[in-house]
């Protein structure tokens, strides 16, 4: 499908040559330019090469903010700054897992964010297997005392990423549940869809008053192997060594830049990505690609002339470890004149659907956007747009309109939070199609004076 993307520019011009859209010639030209532009790829390449992994609260994330500010300055954006905040910081230590008996062998494991530590000598205990999170929830209180809980699930690839929402809770809340039931530690089947020996890390959280236990994710082949061992009917003993540390409150920050509009009275468009990444890979798809897409699209709009609305770029910090950047922005900037929010944080594969959450008064504007996206093979969805993680707080605080450009997530969870999240996984053609889609939306909305005020929530 992506092989045909460069040919769409001519189709765009033909499709939009009617009088239905006042800005049609400009949109067609912008789409054609975006489909041949390499700025987004250059940004991903630069960030992953010159900074690499960017775990929140670390020196690497600080270097990433400096890199981002320099890049945005070089591209001609305005009002560029870092807005710092403090956050608790967790860092990885040693991490090994091995079956001691009855079938001794090493397993590939990665600690989950906020995991407790086994100590340097490790922890050896019997495994109690739960095929699903629901099975763990049903276990009697205290039944796991001194044991290592092992939770599996049945996550499969989906285009819309819905499988993550269904099975990700094994990671999101599984460790907290196991700790409350007395477990000494927990291992889970990675929240992912690949079959490589690459564990998927990611954050987990413990309730106030619950002492964090060691918590790790096994690679999917290792988790499946462990299931086969358990099913042989003999007690399985596992040794874990996980030695992460909480190093206290450290500085993170949001990098902000703007493309000023000609009419300050019109509410601005905030477009977001997150600058931080997990430490196992170089964070190419999660989320250097998102920062690249929104920035390249805003640059395309800038090159076409000043829009009516200000477009604000938010390269949020510390998303992976608890939405610290998005929450800080939502609180610090809730008094700013926002109208609409968008985010790119689902990789770099092509946009296939657009969803809206606009006031009824802007229904014609939504129709215009949807029509303009059709030549890029993007259909209109029937779901309400919900926005991304880093704009949730500002949407909630300011009751904003939302547009979601939904990316194809079929292979996203093969790579998500793994050592495989690297530049070579970016498909330049699909990346350019993202930029063309974002350029289309930003140009139309940015040059519209339609009232985007959402109805007051009851």
Rounded-to-5 percentages of helix, strand, coil across the chain: 35, 25, 40
- Whole-number percent of the chain with pLDDT over 70: 94
- Residue 457: predicted pLDDT: 78
- Whole-number percent of the chain with pLDDT over 90: 94
**162 CB neighbour count, 10 Å cutoff:** 10
- Residue 11: predicted pLDDT: 38
Among 289, 276, 291, CA closest to 422: 289
Cα–Cα distance for residue pair 109/130, rounded to 1 Å? 18
pLDDT in tens, 201-245: 999 999 999 999 999 999 999 999 999 999 999 999 999 999 999
Q: What is the pTM of this model?
A: 0.93
431-444-325 Cα angle (round to 5):
60
pLDDT in tens, 264-274: 999 999 999 99
pLDDT in tens, 350-359: 999 999 999 9
Kindly indicate the confidence band of residue 24, based on its pLDDT and cuts at 50, 70 and 90: very low
Cα–Cα distance for residue pair 256/80, rounded to 1 Å? 6
Cα–Cα distance for residue pair 198/280, rounded to 1 Å? 10
Tokens of 323: 């939405």
Tell the burial category of 402 from Cβ atoms under 10 Å away from its Cβ (0-12, 13-18, 19+).
buried
Kindly indicate the confidence band of residue 22, based on its pLDDT and cuts at 50, 70 and 90: very low
**166 CB neighbour count, 10 Å cutoff:** 14
352 three-state secondary structure: strand
- Residue 225: predicted pLDDT: 98
- Alpha-carbon dihedral sign for residues 377, 380, 327, 113: negative
- Residue 458: predicted pLDDT: 67
**178 CB neighbour count, 10 Å cutoff:** 27
Phi-psi region of 400 (alpha: psi -120 to 50; beta: other; left: phi over 0): beta
pLDDT in tens, 94-113: 999 999 999 999 999 999 99
In angstroms, the Cα distances linking 306 to 294, 312, 363, 420, 450 are 17, 13, 24, 39, 17
- Residue 32: predicted pLDDT: 97
260-348-431 Cα angle (round to 5):
70
**82 CB neighbour count, 10 Å cutoff:** 17
- Mean pLDDT, all residues of the chain: 94
Q: Does the pLDDT value for residue 15 go beyond 80? A: no
Residue 269, H or E segment? strand 268-274
Q: Domains in the chain, ordered, with CATH?
A: 2-89+249-446 (3.40.630.10), 93-243 (3.50.30.30)
- The DSSP line for 221-251 is HHHHHHHHHHHTTS--EEEEEE--EEEEEEE
In angstroms, the Cα distances linking 142 to 139, 267, 272 are 9, 54, 44
- Alpha-carbon dihedral sign for residues 398, 399, 403, 404: positive
- Residue 456: predicted pLDDT: 87
């Amino acid at each position: 499908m992506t092989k045909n993307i460069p040919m769409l520019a001519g189709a765009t011009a033909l499709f939009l040559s009617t009088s239905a859209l006042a800005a049609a010639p400009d949109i067609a030209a912008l789409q054609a330019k975006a489909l041949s532009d390499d700025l987004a790829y250059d940004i991903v390449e630069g960030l992953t090469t010159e900074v690499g992994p960017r775990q929140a609260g670390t020196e690497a994330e600080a270097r990433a903010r400096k890199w981002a500010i320099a890049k945005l300055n070089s591209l001609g954006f305005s009002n560029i700054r870092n807005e710092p905040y403090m956050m608790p910081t967790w860092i990885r230590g040693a991490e090994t897992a091995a079956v001691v008996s009855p079938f001794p062998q090493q397993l590939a494991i990665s600690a989950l964010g906020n995991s407790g530590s086994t100590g340097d000598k490790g922890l050896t205990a019997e495994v109690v297997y739960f095929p699903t999170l629901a099975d763990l929830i049903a276990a009697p209180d205290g039944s796991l005392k001194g044991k290592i809980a092992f939770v599996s699930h049945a996550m499969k690839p989906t285009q819309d990423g819905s499988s993550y929402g269904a099975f990700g809770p094994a990671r999101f809340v599984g460790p907290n549940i196991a700790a409350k039931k007395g477990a000494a530690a927990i291992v889970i089947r990675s929240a992912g869809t690949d079959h490589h020996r690459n564990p998927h890390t990611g954050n987990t959280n413990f309730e106030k008053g619950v002492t964090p236990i060691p918590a790790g994710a096994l690679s999917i082949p290792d988790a499946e192997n462990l299931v086969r061992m358990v099913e042989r009917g003999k007690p399985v003993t596992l040794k874990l060594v996980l030695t992460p540390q909480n190093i206290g409150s450290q500085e993170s920050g949001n990098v902000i830049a703007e493309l000023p509009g000609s009419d300050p009275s019109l509410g601005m468009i905030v477009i977001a990505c997150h600058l931080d990444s997990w430490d196992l890979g170089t964070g190419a798809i999660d989320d250097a690609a998102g920062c690249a897409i929104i920035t390249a699209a805003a640059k395309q709009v800038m090159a076409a002339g000043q829009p009516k609305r200000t477009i604000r770029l938010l390269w949020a910090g510390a998303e992976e470890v608890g939405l610290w950047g998005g929450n800080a922005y939502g609180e610090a900037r809730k008094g700013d004149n926002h109208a609409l929010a968008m985010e790119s944080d689902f990789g770099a594969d092509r946009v296939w659907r657009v969803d809206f959450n606009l006031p009824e008064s802007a229904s014609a504007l939504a129709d215009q956007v949807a029509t303009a996206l059709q030549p890029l093979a993007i259909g209109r969805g029937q779901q309400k747009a919900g926005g991304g993680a880093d704009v949730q707080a500002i949407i909630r605080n300011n009751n904003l309109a939302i547009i979601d450009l939904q990316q194809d997530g079929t292979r996203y969870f093969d790579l998500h939070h793994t050592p495989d999240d690297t530049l070579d996984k970016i498909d330049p053609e699909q990346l350019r199609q993202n930029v063309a889609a974002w350029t289309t939306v930003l140009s139309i909305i940015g040059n519209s004076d339609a009232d985007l005020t959402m109805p007051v929530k009851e």
